Amino acid sequence: MRFLQRSVLAFGLSLFAMMAGASPASPVNGVDYQTLDRPQQTDSGKKVEVMEFFWYACPHCNALDPALTEWVKKQGDAIVFKRLPVLFRDSMVPQQKLYYALEAMGKTEQLHKQIFHAIHVDHLSLATDAAITDFVVKHGVDKKKFLDAYNSFGVATKVRRAAQLQEAYKVDGVPLIAIDGRYITSPSIVGTSIGNQPEEVLFKATLQVMDSLVAKAAKEHK
């Protein structure tokens, strides 16, 4: 029992020391970010892959999106940025298909912000095939072309692949950011080191951690 108590105490002191030395500008593994046990292969070549796991109906994903979009722009050609819509239950499949259908049509950037706005400002659910189709048509997307993409084998394949990646990256909440197939961070992870802070502070801190991880991954590419 004494050995167990000492071990628990040692672990607690070690964790406290790690957190005390952590900061978003100098992130610590296991505190501000986590390293995957099994790195995932990326196809970004010499560039660093940055992947956002998100859900359109997630209020935190919606709130983070403007700052994340600006961050991505500032990275220029240093990164390859990807988004991956997650699936925690079957009712989320239509929004996954929505994202991948628009991606296949080259209309993701045109409607990405509009979808967030429709759900979180206009309070549209966009949770069914019919509601989604009606939405995109009202925003100028050809109905037949959209439905062809939405119900295509290619989109179905990407939905299956998304589920595999979600499991591989151990995604249990969103938004979550993966860097170079090896590191993950998020506002909730960063929050463990900086404490209970307003969401804007957590977002800024998360982007700082991402800056460090991108720089770290870029060095490892050389």
User: Given the DSSP bridges, would you call strands 34-35 and 48-54 parallel, antiparallel or unpaired?
Assistant: unpaired
Q: In the chain, pLDDT over 70 holds for what percent of residues?
A: 90
Question: Taking the complete model, does pTM exceed 0.85, yes or no?
Answer: yes
- Please report the pLDDT score of residue 214 as a whole number: 98
Give the pLDDT mean for 77-81.
96
CATH architecture of 30-221: 3-Layer(aba) Sandwich (3.40)
What Å distances lie between residue 141 and 95, 117, 145, 155, CA to CA?
16, 17, 8, 17
Q: Among candidates 217, 205, 222, which has minimal Cα distance to 26?
A: 205
Average pLDDT score over the chain: 91
Higher pLDDT, 45 or 132: 132
Quickly state the pLDDT bin for 124 (edges 50, 70, 90).
very high
Instruction: Indicate the domain borders of the chain.
Output: 30-221
In 30-152, which residue ranges form alpha helices assigned H by DSSP?
A: 59-75, 93-104, 108-120, 129-138, 143-150
Spell out where the chain has E strands.
34-35, 48-54, 79-85, 176-179, 183-185
Cis peptide before 187 (omega within 30 of 0): no
The whole-number average pLDDT for the span 32-48 is 95
pLDDT (0 to 100) of residue 151: 98
Q: Are 175 and 64 in contact (CB under 8 A)?
A: yes
Judge whether 185 and 217 are in contact, CB under 8 Å.
Answer: no
- b (16+ CB within 10 A) / e for 116-133: bebbbeeeeebbeeeebb
- Which residues share a beta bridge with 184? 34, 178
Confidence category of residue 12, pLDDT binned at 50, 70, 90 = very low
In this predicted structure, what is the pLDDT of residue 24? 84
